[in-house]
Structure 1
Amino acid sequence: MAASIVMPAMTAAQAVEDLEIDLLLEGVFQFSGYDFRGYQREPLRQKLHGLMQADGMPTVSALQDRVLHDTAAFESLLRVLSGQPAPLFDNPGHFRALRDSLGPWLRSCPSPKIWIADCLSSEEACSLAILLKEENLYDRTRIFATVSNESLLEEASGGCFPLDRMPEYEENYRRSGGQSSLASYCIESEGKALFIPELRRNITWAHYNLTTDASFNEFELIICRRRLGDFGVALRRRALQLFHESLPLFGMLSVDTTADLSATPFDSRYKPVCAEQGLYRRMV
Protein backbone atom coordinates (compact mmCIF):
# COMPACT_ATOMS: atom_id res chain seq x y z
CA MET A 1 0.00 0.00 0.00
CA ALA A 2 1.36 3.39 -0.93
CA ALA A 3 2.13 5.63 1.98
CA SER A 4 -0.09 8.69 2.25
CA ILE A 5 1.53 12.06 1.92
CA VAL A 6 0.89 14.43 4.79
CA MET A 7 1.58 18.14 4.27
CA PRO A 8 3.60 19.78 7.04
CA ALA A 9 1.36 21.69 9.42
CA MET A 10 2.84 25.10 8.58
CA THR A 11 2.54 24.48 4.84
CA ALA A 12 -1.11 23.45 5.18
CA ALA A 13 -1.85 26.48 7.35
CA GLN A 14 -0.11 28.73 4.85
CA ALA A 15 -2.17 27.28 1.98
CA VAL A 16 -5.41 27.85 3.87
CA GLU A 17 -4.45 31.41 4.72
CA ASP A 18 -3.46 32.13 1.12
CA LEU A 19 -6.93 30.99 0.07
CA GLU A 20 -8.50 33.18 2.75
CA ILE A 21 -6.48 36.18 1.53
CA ASP A 22 -7.57 35.51 -2.07
CA LEU A 23 -11.20 35.43 -0.95
CA LEU A 24 -10.80 38.60 1.13
CA LEU A 25 -9.22 40.57 -1.72
CA GLU A 26 -11.80 39.31 -4.20
CA GLY A 27 -14.57 40.23 -1.79
CA VAL A 28 -13.16 43.74 -1.30
CA PHE A 29 -12.91 44.17 -5.07
CA GLN A 30 -16.45 42.94 -5.74
CA PHE A 31 -17.84 44.96 -2.84
CA SER A 32 -16.05 48.28 -3.43
CA GLY A 33 -14.00 48.22 -6.64
CA TYR A 34 -10.71 48.64 -4.74
CA ASP A 35 -8.33 46.11 -6.25
CA PHE A 36 -5.45 44.81 -4.12
CA ARG A 37 -5.31 41.39 -5.82
CA GLY A 38 -2.07 42.14 -7.68
CA TYR A 39 -0.16 43.38 -4.64
CA GLN A 40 2.91 41.56 -3.31
CA ARG A 41 1.64 38.83 -1.06
CA GLU A 42 4.04 38.85 1.89
CA PRO A 43 3.94 42.58 2.68
CA LEU A 44 0.16 42.46 2.30
CA ARG A 45 -0.03 39.43 4.62
CA GLN A 46 1.94 41.31 7.28
CA LYS A 47 -0.45 44.27 7.10
CA LEU A 48 -3.44 41.96 7.45
CA HIS A 49 -1.83 40.24 10.43
CA GLY A 50 -1.36 43.65 12.06
CA LEU A 51 -5.07 44.37 11.66
CA MET A 52 -6.02 40.95 12.95
CA GLN A 53 -3.81 41.29 16.00
CA ALA A 54 -5.12 44.77 16.81
CA ASP A 55 -8.73 43.57 16.71
CA GLY A 56 -8.19 40.13 18.23
CA MET A 57 -9.23 38.18 15.12
CA PRO A 58 -7.78 34.66 14.77
CA THR A 59 -8.10 34.23 10.99
CA VAL A 60 -8.27 36.19 7.75
CA SER A 61 -11.78 34.78 7.30
CA ALA A 62 -12.82 36.48 10.53
CA LEU A 63 -11.29 39.70 9.22
CA GLN A 64 -13.19 39.32 5.96
CA ASP A 65 -16.47 38.90 7.79
CA ARG A 66 -15.77 42.04 9.82
CA VAL A 67 -14.73 44.34 6.96
CA LEU A 68 -17.65 43.34 4.73
CA HIS A 69 -20.21 44.06 7.47
CA ASP A 70 -18.62 46.91 9.42
CA THR A 71 -17.98 50.24 7.69
CA ALA A 72 -15.36 51.35 10.21
CA ALA A 73 -13.45 48.07 9.84
CA PHE A 74 -13.60 48.38 6.05
CA GLU A 75 -12.20 51.92 6.20
CA SER A 76 -9.40 50.69 8.49
CA LEU A 77 -8.52 47.97 5.99
CA LEU A 78 -8.40 50.45 3.10
CA ARG A 79 -6.22 52.80 5.12
CA VAL A 80 -3.72 50.07 5.99
CA LEU A 81 -3.51 48.67 2.45
CA SER A 82 -3.33 52.11 0.84
CA GLY A 83 0.09 52.78 2.38
CA GLN A 84 1.65 55.30 4.73
CA PRO A 85 1.49 59.06 4.10
CA ALA A 86 4.83 60.74 3.40
CA PRO A 87 6.09 63.23 6.00
CA LEU A 88 7.32 66.67 4.92
CA PHE A 89 10.65 66.42 3.06
CA ASP A 90 10.77 62.78 4.17
CA ASN A 91 13.87 62.02 2.07
CA PRO A 92 16.13 65.10 1.99
CA GLY A 93 18.46 63.44 -0.52
CA HIS A 94 15.59 63.02 -2.97
CA PHE A 95 14.63 66.68 -2.75
CA ARG A 96 18.25 67.76 -3.12
CA ALA A 97 18.46 65.71 -6.32
CA LEU A 98 15.26 67.35 -7.57
CA ARG A 99 16.61 70.82 -6.77
CA ASP A 100 19.76 70.10 -8.75
CA SER A 101 18.12 68.65 -11.85
CA LEU A 102 14.54 69.88 -12.12
CA GLY A 103 15.03 73.61 -12.63
CA PRO A 104 16.67 73.67 -16.07
CA TRP A 105 14.14 71.17 -17.45
CA LEU A 106 11.02 72.94 -16.19
CA ARG A 107 12.29 76.35 -17.28
CA SER A 108 12.46 75.05 -20.84
CA CYS A 109 8.76 74.05 -20.77
CA PRO A 110 6.02 76.63 -21.46
CA SER A 111 3.45 75.28 -18.96
CA PRO A 112 4.98 72.55 -16.80
CA LYS A 113 2.77 69.94 -15.18
CA ILE A 114 3.77 67.56 -12.38
CA TRP A 115 1.89 64.46 -11.26
CA ILE A 116 2.31 63.03 -7.75
CA ALA A 117 0.70 59.58 -7.98
CA ASP A 118 -0.82 58.06 -4.83
CA CYS A 119 -0.14 61.17 -2.80
CA LEU A 120 -1.51 60.40 0.64
CA SER A 121 -0.59 63.63 2.43
CA SER A 122 -0.51 67.37 2.00
CA GLU A 123 3.06 67.18 3.28
CA GLU A 124 4.19 65.32 0.16
CA ALA A 125 2.54 67.78 -2.23
CA CYS A 126 3.63 70.86 -0.28
CA SER A 127 7.23 69.64 -0.04
CA LEU A 128 7.34 69.87 -3.82
CA ALA A 129 5.46 73.18 -3.83
CA ILE A 130 8.01 74.72 -1.45
CA LEU A 131 10.88 73.46 -3.61
CA LEU A 132 9.30 74.92 -6.75
CA LYS A 133 8.65 78.25 -5.03
CA GLU A 134 12.27 78.54 -3.91
CA GLU A 135 13.45 77.74 -7.44
CA ASN A 136 11.09 80.41 -8.89
CA LEU A 137 9.09 77.74 -10.73
CA TYR A 138 5.87 77.54 -8.73
CA ASP A 139 3.82 80.28 -10.40
CA ARG A 140 4.04 78.64 -13.82
CA THR A 141 3.75 75.01 -12.71
CA ARG A 142 0.61 72.99 -12.00
CA ILE A 143 0.81 70.07 -9.54
CA PHE A 144 -1.70 67.21 -9.82
CA ALA A 145 -1.88 65.10 -6.65
CA THR A 146 -3.94 61.93 -7.02
CA VAL A 147 -5.16 59.44 -4.42
CA SER A 148 -6.34 55.92 -5.25
CA ASN A 149 -8.40 55.64 -2.07
CA GLU A 150 -11.28 58.07 -2.51
CA SER A 151 -12.16 57.95 1.17
CA LEU A 152 -8.70 59.35 2.03
CA LEU A 153 -8.80 62.14 -0.56
CA GLU A 154 -10.28 64.79 1.74
CA GLU A 155 -7.86 63.93 4.52
CA ALA A 156 -4.84 63.95 2.20
CA SER A 157 -5.75 67.34 0.73
CA GLY A 158 -6.45 68.99 4.09
CA GLY A 159 -3.26 71.06 4.10
CA CYS A 160 -2.29 70.65 7.76
CA PHE A 161 -0.02 68.59 10.01
CA PRO A 162 0.59 68.26 13.79
CA LEU A 163 2.52 71.19 15.27
CA ASP A 164 4.73 68.88 17.29
CA ARG A 165 6.31 67.58 14.07
CA MET A 166 7.61 71.03 13.12
CA PRO A 167 11.15 70.56 14.57
CA GLU A 168 11.57 67.26 12.69
CA TYR A 169 10.20 68.76 9.48
CA GLU A 170 12.37 71.88 9.85
CA GLU A 171 15.46 69.68 10.03
CA ASN A 172 14.36 67.67 6.97
CA TYR A 173 13.74 70.92 5.10
CA ARG A 174 17.19 72.28 6.01
CA ARG A 175 18.92 69.06 4.91
CA SER A 176 16.99 69.08 1.61
CA GLY A 177 18.55 72.42 0.69
CA GLY A 178 15.80 74.68 2.00
CA GLN A 179 16.52 78.36 1.45
CA SER A 180 14.26 79.95 4.06
CA SER A 181 12.43 78.83 7.20
CA LEU A 182 9.75 76.19 7.06
CA ALA A 183 7.67 78.23 9.48
CA SER A 184 7.31 80.93 6.81
CA TYR A 185 5.15 78.53 4.78
CA CYS A 186 2.73 77.69 7.61
CA ILE A 187 0.32 79.34 10.01
CA GLU A 188 -1.06 77.95 13.25
CA SER A 189 -4.73 77.00 13.09
CA GLU A 190 -6.72 75.12 15.73
CA GLY A 191 -3.60 73.60 17.23
CA LYS A 192 -2.19 72.45 13.90
CA ALA A 193 0.23 73.81 11.32
CA LEU A 194 -1.64 74.82 8.17
CA PHE A 195 0.13 75.43 4.86
CA ILE A 196 -0.53 78.96 3.60
CA PRO A 197 -3.08 79.30 0.77
CA GLU A 198 -0.41 80.70 -1.58
CA LEU A 199 1.43 77.38 -1.35
CA ARG A 200 -1.66 75.30 -2.17
CA ARG A 201 -3.27 77.32 -4.95
CA ASN A 202 -1.52 75.47 -7.81
CA ILE A 203 -2.21 71.97 -6.44
CA THR A 204 -5.16 70.04 -7.91
CA TRP A 205 -6.34 66.99 -5.95
CA ALA A 206 -8.24 64.14 -7.61
CA HIS A 207 -9.20 60.49 -7.24
CA TYR A 208 -7.20 58.21 -9.55
CA ASN A 209 -6.45 54.48 -9.39
CA LEU A 210 -3.04 53.36 -10.64
CA THR A 211 -4.17 49.75 -10.98
CA THR A 212 -7.10 50.41 -13.34
CA ASP A 213 -7.14 53.95 -14.78
CA ALA A 214 -5.56 55.15 -18.05
CA SER A 215 -3.20 58.05 -18.68
CA PHE A 216 -5.02 61.37 -18.25
CA ASN A 217 -2.42 63.97 -19.32
CA GLU A 218 1.23 64.56 -20.18
CA PHE A 219 3.56 65.60 -17.37
CA GLU A 220 7.09 66.95 -17.30
CA LEU A 221 7.68 65.17 -13.98
CA ILE A 222 5.92 62.16 -12.44
CA ILE A 223 6.56 61.22 -8.82
CA CYS A 224 5.54 57.87 -7.32
CA ARG A 225 7.89 57.03 -4.45
CA ARG A 226 5.79 55.07 -1.95
CA ARG A 227 3.53 52.72 -3.89
CA LEU A 228 5.37 50.58 -6.47
CA GLY A 229 7.02 48.54 -3.73
CA ASP A 230 3.58 47.21 -2.76
CA PHE A 231 2.79 46.07 -6.29
CA GLY A 232 3.43 42.62 -7.69
CA VAL A 233 5.45 42.31 -10.91
CA ALA A 234 2.50 42.68 -13.30
CA LEU A 235 1.05 45.73 -11.53
CA ARG A 236 4.45 47.37 -11.27
CA ARG A 237 5.04 46.96 -15.01
CA ARG A 238 1.57 48.31 -15.73
CA ALA A 239 2.24 51.42 -13.63
CA LEU A 240 5.65 51.99 -15.24
CA GLN A 241 4.11 51.67 -18.71
CA LEU A 242 1.41 54.16 -17.69
CA PHE A 243 4.05 56.62 -16.50
CA HIS A 244 6.01 56.18 -19.73
CA GLU A 245 2.90 56.98 -21.78
CA SER A 246 2.34 60.09 -19.63
CA LEU A 247 5.84 61.55 -20.04
CA PRO A 248 7.17 63.59 -22.98
CA LEU A 249 10.64 62.95 -24.36
CA PHE A 250 13.19 64.04 -21.72
CA GLY A 251 10.45 64.05 -19.06
CA MET A 252 11.55 63.04 -15.58
CA LEU A 253 10.34 60.11 -13.49
CA SER A 254 10.87 59.82 -9.74
CA VAL A 255 10.10 56.38 -8.29
CA ASP A 256 11.08 54.32 -5.28
CA THR A 257 14.16 52.19 -5.84
CA THR A 258 12.11 48.95 -5.92
CA ALA A 259 10.77 49.98 -9.35
CA ASP A 260 13.98 48.64 -10.98
CA LEU A 261 14.12 50.54 -14.27
CA SER A 262 17.15 48.45 -15.21
CA ALA A 263 14.76 45.63 -16.16
CA THR A 264 13.60 45.08 -19.73
CA PRO A 265 11.88 46.89 -21.45
CA PHE A 266 12.50 49.99 -19.32
CA ASP A 267 16.30 49.84 -19.29
CA SER A 268 16.50 51.28 -22.82
CA ARG A 269 13.86 53.98 -22.25
CA TYR A 270 15.45 55.94 -19.40
CA LYS A 271 18.74 57.52 -18.42
CA PRO A 272 19.55 57.78 -14.71
CA VAL A 273 19.66 61.31 -13.37
CA CYS A 274 20.26 60.18 -9.79
CA ALA A 275 19.66 56.42 -9.67
CA GLU A 276 20.28 56.14 -5.91
CA GLN A 277 17.29 58.45 -5.41
CA GLY A 278 15.16 56.77 -8.10
CA LEU A 279 15.30 59.75 -10.48
CA TYR A 280 15.34 59.08 -14.25
CA ARG A 281 14.86 60.88 -17.56
CA ARG A 282 12.88 59.45 -20.48
CA MET A 283 15.12 59.08 -23.55
CA VAL A 284 12.87 57.03 -25.92
Structure 2
Amino acid sequence: MGANGELRRNTAPELEELELQLLLEALVRRFGFDFRLHERAPLKQKVLAFMQQCGLATLSQVQDQVLHDPATSSALLRALHVPPAALFDNPAEALMLREAAEHSLRGAALPRVWLADCAGVGQAWTLAIILAEMGLLSHAEIYATVASDEMLDEAASAWLPEDDLEGAQESYRQAGGKGRLANYFNVQGGRAILAPSLRSHITWAQYNLVTDASFNEFNLIACQRALPDFGPLLRQRVLQLFHDSLVPFGTLGLDREIAPDDPLACAYQALEPGQPWYKRIMWQAPISPAG
Protein backbone atom coordinates (compact mmCIF):
# COMPACT_ATOMS: atom_id res chain seq x y z
CA MET A 1 0.00 0.00 0.00
CA GLY A 2 1.15 3.56 -0.63
CA ALA A 3 1.92 6.41 1.74
CA ASN A 4 -1.74 7.12 2.45
CA GLY A 5 -2.31 3.59 3.70
CA GLU A 6 0.84 3.74 5.84
CA LEU A 7 -0.29 6.97 7.49
CA ARG A 8 -3.67 5.43 8.26
CA ARG A 9 -2.09 2.37 9.85
CA ASN A 10 -0.10 4.66 12.14
CA THR A 11 -3.22 6.53 13.28
CA ALA A 12 -4.44 5.46 16.72
CA PRO A 13 -7.95 3.94 16.53
CA GLU A 14 -9.34 6.38 19.09
CA LEU A 15 -7.98 9.35 17.09
CA GLU A 16 -9.37 7.94 13.87
CA GLU A 17 -12.80 7.53 15.51
CA LEU A 18 -12.67 11.12 16.77
CA GLU A 19 -11.76 12.38 13.29
CA LEU A 20 -14.63 10.39 11.79
CA GLN A 21 -17.11 11.78 14.33
CA LEU A 22 -15.96 15.33 13.54
CA LEU A 23 -16.29 14.69 9.80
CA LEU A 24 -19.82 13.31 10.19
CA GLU A 25 -20.78 16.24 12.41
CA ALA A 26 -19.47 18.62 9.76
CA LEU A 27 -21.59 16.92 7.09
CA VAL A 28 -24.70 17.41 9.25
CA ARG A 29 -24.05 21.04 10.13
CA ARG A 30 -22.81 22.18 6.75
CA PHE A 31 -24.92 20.10 4.33
CA GLY A 32 -27.76 18.58 6.37
CA PHE A 33 -26.83 14.96 5.62
CA ASP A 34 -26.67 12.77 8.71
CA PHE A 35 -24.56 9.60 8.55
CA ARG A 36 -23.91 9.41 12.30
CA LEU A 37 -26.24 6.42 12.81
CA HIS A 38 -24.89 4.46 9.84
CA GLU A 39 -23.01 1.23 10.43
CA ARG A 40 -19.41 2.14 11.13
CA ALA A 41 -17.66 -0.62 9.15
CA PRO A 42 -19.18 0.06 5.68
CA LEU A 43 -19.04 3.80 6.33
CA LYS A 44 -15.31 3.65 7.06
CA GLN A 45 -14.74 1.54 3.94
CA LYS A 46 -16.45 4.15 1.77
CA VAL A 47 -14.52 7.01 3.37
CA LEU A 48 -11.20 5.16 3.04
CA ALA A 49 -11.87 4.45 -0.63
CA PHE A 50 -12.67 8.13 -1.11
CA MET A 51 -9.44 9.16 0.65
CA GLN A 52 -7.37 6.90 -1.59
CA GLN A 53 -9.12 8.18 -4.68
CA CYS A 54 -8.44 11.81 -3.71
CA GLY A 55 -4.91 11.25 -2.36
CA LEU A 56 -5.80 12.39 1.17
CA ALA A 57 -3.90 10.91 4.11
CA THR A 58 -6.16 11.65 7.10
CA LEU A 59 -9.81 12.18 7.91
CA SER A 60 -8.93 15.67 9.09
CA GLN A 61 -7.71 16.47 5.59
CA VAL A 62 -10.98 15.11 4.21
CA GLN A 63 -12.95 17.39 6.53
CA ASP A 64 -10.89 20.42 5.55
CA GLN A 65 -11.40 19.74 1.83
CA VAL A 66 -15.10 19.01 2.27
CA LEU A 67 -15.72 22.27 4.10
CA HIS A 68 -13.80 24.45 1.65
CA ASP A 69 -14.09 22.77 -1.75
CA PRO A 70 -17.60 22.24 -3.21
CA ALA A 71 -16.36 19.63 -5.66
CA THR A 72 -14.88 17.51 -2.84
CA SER A 73 -17.99 17.78 -0.67
CA SER A 74 -20.20 16.80 -3.59
CA ALA A 75 -18.00 13.82 -4.42
CA LEU A 76 -17.90 12.59 -0.80
CA LEU A 77 -21.66 12.83 -0.35
CA ARG A 78 -22.14 10.93 -3.59
CA ALA A 79 -19.69 8.25 -2.40
CA LEU A 80 -21.54 7.82 0.92
CA HIS A 81 -24.97 7.44 -0.63
CA VAL A 82 -26.35 4.48 -2.58
CA PRO A 83 -24.14 3.73 -5.61
CA PRO A 84 -25.83 3.90 -9.03
CA ALA A 85 -27.35 0.66 -10.29
CA ALA A 86 -27.08 -0.75 -13.79
CA LEU A 87 -30.15 -1.78 -15.75
CA PHE A 88 -31.39 -5.20 -14.50
CA ASP A 89 -28.17 -5.56 -12.48
CA ASN A 90 -29.85 -7.93 -10.01
CA PRO A 91 -32.11 -10.47 -11.77
CA ALA A 92 -33.19 -12.09 -8.46
CA GLU A 93 -34.32 -8.72 -7.12
CA ALA A 94 -36.14 -7.99 -10.37
CA LEU A 95 -37.96 -11.31 -10.18
CA MET A 96 -39.13 -10.49 -6.67
CA LEU A 97 -40.27 -7.08 -7.87
CA ARG A 98 -42.46 -8.84 -10.42
CA GLU A 99 -44.00 -11.02 -7.72
CA ALA A 100 -44.42 -8.10 -5.33
CA ALA A 101 -46.13 -6.04 -8.03
CA GLU A 102 -48.51 -8.90 -8.75
CA HIS A 103 -49.42 -9.14 -5.06
CA SER A 104 -49.84 -5.42 -4.36
CA LEU A 105 -50.59 -3.53 -7.60
CA ARG A 106 -52.92 -5.83 -9.51
CA GLY A 107 -56.45 -4.59 -8.92
CA ALA A 108 -55.43 -1.31 -7.23
CA ALA A 109 -57.18 1.73 -8.70
CA LEU A 110 -54.18 4.06 -8.66
CA PRO A 111 -51.17 2.00 -7.53
CA ARG A 112 -48.18 3.88 -6.18
CA VAL A 113 -44.65 2.49 -5.80
CA TRP A 114 -41.87 4.06 -3.74
CA LEU A 115 -38.23 3.33 -4.57
CA ALA A 116 -36.71 4.72 -1.38
CA ASP A 117 -33.13 5.99 -1.77
CA CYS A 118 -33.33 4.92 -5.39
CA ALA A 119 -30.08 3.74 -7.00
CA GLY A 120 -30.52 6.02 -10.00
CA VAL A 121 -32.19 5.50 -13.35
CA GLY A 122 -30.92 1.93 -13.64
CA GLN A 123 -33.17 0.84 -10.79
CA ALA A 124 -36.13 3.08 -11.69
CA TRP A 125 -36.07 2.19 -15.39
CA THR A 126 -35.83 -1.51 -14.53
CA LEU A 127 -39.03 -1.26 -12.49
CA ALA A 128 -40.83 0.75 -15.17
CA ILE A 129 -40.03 -1.92 -17.78
CA ILE A 130 -41.22 -4.69 -15.45
CA LEU A 131 -44.53 -2.92 -14.78
CA ALA A 132 -45.00 -2.17 -18.48
CA GLU A 133 -44.55 -5.85 -19.35
CA MET A 134 -47.07 -6.80 -16.67
CA GLY A 135 -49.63 -4.35 -18.02
CA LEU A 136 -49.55 -2.38 -14.75
CA LEU A 137 -47.66 0.78 -15.67
CA SER A 138 -50.40 2.64 -17.56
CA HIS A 139 -52.26 3.56 -14.35
CA ALA A 140 -49.36 3.39 -11.87
CA GLU A 141 -46.91 5.96 -10.52
CA ILE A 142 -43.34 5.24 -9.46
CA TYR A 143 -41.89 7.65 -6.89
CA ALA A 144 -38.10 7.47 -7.03
CA THR A 145 -36.57 9.46 -4.19
CA VAL A 146 -32.90 10.39 -3.89
CA ALA A 147 -30.92 12.17 -1.21
CA SER A 148 -29.83 15.36 -2.97
CA ASP A 149 -30.78 17.89 -5.64
CA GLU A 150 -27.59 16.97 -7.48
CA MET A 151 -28.76 13.37 -7.78
CA LEU A 152 -32.12 14.67 -9.02
CA ASP A 153 -30.33 16.56 -11.77
CA GLU A 154 -28.41 13.41 -12.69
CA ALA A 155 -31.66 11.47 -13.04
CA ALA A 156 -33.29 14.17 -15.16
CA SER A 157 -30.48 14.16 -17.72
CA ALA A 158 -29.52 10.47 -17.53
CA TRP A 159 -28.95 8.21 -20.51
CA LEU A 160 -27.30 4.87 -21.11
CA PRO A 161 -24.73 3.89 -23.75
CA GLU A 162 -26.51 1.89 -26.43
CA ASP A 163 -24.14 -1.04 -25.81
CA ASP A 164 -25.46 -1.28 -22.22
CA LEU A 165 -28.81 -2.48 -23.54
CA GLU A 166 -27.21 -5.45 -25.25
CA GLY A 167 -25.09 -6.11 -22.17
CA ALA A 168 -28.17 -6.16 -19.92
CA GLN A 169 -30.26 -8.34 -22.24
CA GLU A 170 -29.31 -11.64 -20.60
CA SER A 171 -29.95 -10.30 -17.08
CA TYR A 172 -33.30 -8.98 -18.30
CA ARG A 173 -34.14 -12.46 -19.63
CA GLN A 174 -33.14 -14.06 -16.30
CA ALA A 175 -35.49 -11.59 -14.60
CA GLY A 176 -38.45 -12.84 -16.61
CA GLY A 177 -38.20 -10.52 -19.60
CA LYS A 178 -39.60 -11.90 -22.85
CA GLY A 179 -38.72 -9.27 -25.47
CA ARG A 180 -35.84 -6.96 -26.37
CA LEU A 181 -34.74 -4.22 -24.01
CA ALA A 182 -34.10 -1.92 -26.96
CA ASN A 183 -37.85 -1.85 -27.62
CA TYR A 184 -38.34 0.25 -24.48
CA PHE A 185 -35.79 2.90 -25.42
CA ASN A 186 -35.25 5.73 -27.83
CA VAL A 187 -31.73 5.41 -29.21
CA GLN A 188 -29.92 8.21 -30.97
CA GLY A 189 -26.23 8.89 -31.42
CA GLY A 190 -25.31 5.87 -29.30
CA ARG A 191 -27.38 7.15 -26.36
CA ALA A 192 -30.37 5.20 -25.05
CA ILE A 193 -33.14 6.94 -23.09
CA LEU A 194 -36.23 5.22 -21.71
CA ALA A 195 -39.23 5.91 -23.92
CA PRO A 196 -41.38 8.88 -22.79
CA SER A 197 -44.42 6.63 -22.38
CA LEU A 198 -42.55 4.85 -19.56
CA ARG A 199 -40.61 7.81 -18.14
CA SER A 200 -43.84 9.76 -17.66
CA HIS A 201 -44.82 7.33 -14.90
CA ILE A 202 -41.67 8.04 -12.84
CA THR A 203 -41.71 10.98 -10.42
CA TRP A 204 -38.28 11.94 -9.10
CA ALA A 205 -38.00 13.81 -5.79
CA GLN A 206 -35.43 14.75 -3.19
CA TYR A 207 -36.12 13.00 0.11
CA ASN A 208 -34.07 12.29 3.23
CA LEU A 209 -34.87 8.94 4.86
CA VAL A 210 -33.12 10.04 8.05
CA THR A 211 -35.11 13.21 8.73
CA ASP A 212 -38.21 13.45 6.50
CA ALA A 213 -41.72 12.28 7.40
CA SER A 214 -44.11 10.06 5.47
CA PHE A 215 -45.32 11.90 2.36
CA ASN A 216 -47.85 9.54 0.76
CA GLU A 217 -49.44 6.09 0.91
CA PHE A 218 -47.95 3.37 -1.26
CA ASN A 219 -48.96 -0.07 -2.44
CA LEU A 220 -45.34 -1.17 -2.82
CA ILE A 221 -42.18 0.13 -1.13
CA ALA A 222 -38.74 -1.19 -2.07
CA CYS A 223 -35.52 -0.33 -0.24
CA GLN A 224 -32.86 -3.03 -0.63
CA ARG A 225 -29.87 -0.82 -1.42
CA ALA A 226 -29.69 1.77 1.38
CA LEU A 227 -30.74 -0.24 4.44
CA PRO A 228 -27.55 -2.34 4.73
CA ASP A 229 -25.67 0.84 5.70
CA PHE A 230 -28.07 1.82 8.49
CA GLY A 231 -27.31 1.13 12.13
CA PRO A 232 -29.98 -0.47 14.39
CA LEU A 233 -31.59 2.76 15.63
CA LEU A 234 -31.76 4.36 12.20
CA ARG A 235 -32.97 1.13 10.66
CA GLN A 236 -35.85 0.91 13.13
CA ARG A 237 -36.80 4.52 12.45
CA VAL A 238 -36.88 3.89 8.70
CA LEU A 239 -38.89 0.66 9.07
CA GLN A 240 -41.49 2.61 11.08
CA LEU A 241 -41.52 5.25 8.33
CA PHE A 242 -42.21 2.58 5.72
CA HIS A 243 -44.92 1.09 7.91
CA ASP A 244 -46.61 4.49 8.20
CA SER A 245 -46.43 4.86 4.39
CA LEU A 246 -47.69 1.42 3.34
CA VAL A 247 -51.37 0.71 2.69
CA PRO A 248 -53.00 -2.39 4.23
CA PHE A 249 -52.00 -5.47 2.24
CA GLY A 250 -49.26 -3.48 0.53
CA THR A 251 -45.86 -5.03 -0.10
CA LEU A 252 -42.52 -4.09 1.47
CA GLY A 253 -39.13 -5.13 0.03
CA LEU A 254 -36.14 -4.93 2.37
CA ASP A 255 -32.50 -5.99 2.39
CA ARG A 256 -32.92 -8.74 4.99
CA GLU A 257 -35.65 -10.61 6.82
CA ILE A 258 -37.51 -8.90 9.66
CA ALA A 259 -36.36 -10.36 12.97
CA PRO A 260 -39.08 -12.29 14.85
CA ASP A 261 -38.67 -10.00 17.89
CA ASP A 262 -38.92 -6.80 15.84
CA PRO A 263 -41.81 -4.56 17.05
CA LEU A 264 -43.29 -4.62 13.55
CA ALA A 265 -42.87 -8.33 12.86
CA CYS A 266 -46.47 -9.24 13.69
CA ALA A 267 -47.72 -6.75 11.09
CA TYR A 268 -46.12 -8.54 8.15
CA GLN A 269 -46.27 -11.88 6.38
CA ALA A 270 -43.45 -13.09 4.11
CA LEU A 271 -44.32 -13.48 0.45
CA GLU A 272 -41.87 -16.39 0.23
CA PRO A 273 -39.93 -18.18 2.97
CA GLY A 274 -36.40 -16.87 3.27
CA GLN A 275 -37.06 -13.75 1.19
CA PRO A 276 -37.16 -10.22 2.72
CA TRP A 277 -40.38 -9.30 0.89
CA TYR A 278 -43.50 -8.86 2.99
CA LYS A 279 -47.22 -8.17 2.78
CA ARG A 280 -48.64 -5.88 5.42
CA ILE A 281 -51.45 -7.71 7.20
CA MET A 282 -52.39 -5.26 9.99
CA TRP A 283 -53.98 -1.81 9.70
CA GLN A 284 -52.50 -0.30 12.85
CA ALA A 285 -48.87 -0.37 13.90
CA PRO A 286 -48.29 -2.56 16.95
CA ILE A 287 -47.86 -0.66 20.21
CA SER A 288 -44.28 -0.63 21.45
CA PRO A 289 -43.68 -1.58 25.08
CA ALA A 290 -43.47 1.36 27.47
CA GLY A 291 -40.02 2.62 28.26
Counterparts of 1:105-124 in structure 2, within 5 Å, are 105-124=104-123
* Alignment correspondent of 2:15: 16
The one-letter code matched in structure 2 to 1:186 is F
* Alignment correspondent of 1:229: 228
Query: Does the CA-based 8 Å contact 1:228-1:236 persist in structure 2?
Result: yes
Q: Aligned to 2:234, what secondary structure does the other structure show?
A: helix
* Alignment correspondent of 2:285: none
CA apart distance, 1:81: 0.3
* Alignment correspondent of 2:191: 192
CA apart distance, 1:102: 2.2
CA apart distance, 1:200: 0.3
- Mark the CA change 1:131 to 1:62 in structure 2 (over 3 Å): closer, same or farther: same
CA distance in 2, matches of 1:179, 1:31: 48
CA apart distance, 1:277: 4.2
- Mark the CA change 1:198 to 1:237 in structure 2 (over 3 Å): closer, same or farther: same
CA distance in 2, matches of 1:233, 1:22: 18
- Mark the CA change 1:226 to 1:185 in structure 2 (over 3 Å): closer, same or farther: same
Counterparts of 1:103-182 in structure 2, within 5 Å, are 103-182=102-181
Q: Aligned to 1:274, what secondary structure does the other structure show?
A: coil
CA apart distance, 1:32: 1.0
The one-letter code matched in structure 2 to 1:109 is A
Q: Which stretches in structure 2 are left out of the alignment for 5+ residues?
A: 1-8, 283-291
Query: Does the CA-based 8 Å contact 1:113-1:144 persist in structure 2?
Result: yes
CA apart distance, 1:122: 1.1
Superposed CA offset, 1:120-163 (max 9, x none): 31121111111111111111111111101221111124342223
| 1:272 aligned to which of 257, 270, 273 | 270
CA apart distance, 1:101: 4.3
Q: Which stretches in structure 1 are left out of the alignment for 5+ residues?
A: 1-9
CA distance in 1, matches of 2:115, 2:33: 20
CA distance in 2, matches of 1:154, 1:240: 28
Q: Aligned to 2:14, what secondary structure does the other structure show?
A: helix
- Mark the CA change 1:237 to 1:49 in structure 2 (over 3 Å): closer, same or farther: same
